[in-house]
Amino acid sequence: MRQVTVHAAKTHLSKLIEAALGGEDVVIAKGRKPVVRLVPIPQQPFKIGPLEGELGHGPDFFEPMPDDELDLWEGDR
C-alpha cells in the first residue's frame, strides 16, 4: 500500500492514478491520518440495445396524426 500526503497527491496525481489503475492500493493522508483511497472505476464495454425485444413496440412518429388530434396541437377547435 502506498500512502501519500495531500500535497504529494496534488503534485503526483497522474502517477498515482496510473498506479491505482495498475492495481496498486493508493491512500491519501492528511498528515499521518489516512483519509481517502484512490481506486479505479470498473470499465464495462458499451452494449447497444440491452433491452431489445423486451419493451414492445412504441408509437410510429412518422405516421400522420389524426385530424382531431392535429387540431388540438395547432390550436384549432
d(CA 47, CA 56): 19
C-alpha cell at 8: 504529494
Neighbours of 6 (CB within 10 A): 13
Domain range list for the chain: 2-38
Q: What is the pLDDT of residue 77?
A: 59
Report which DSSP code applies to 34: E
C-alpha cell at 23: 492495481
* pLDDT, tens digit, 9 for 90 and up, residues 23-70: 999 999 999 999 999 999 988 887 778 787 787 777 788 889 889 988
Q: Is the pLDDT of residue 76 over 90?
A: no
Q: Between these two residues, 57 and 3, which has the higher pLDDT value?
A: 3
Q: Is the pLDDT of residue 14 over 70?
A: yes
C-alpha cell at 10: 496534488
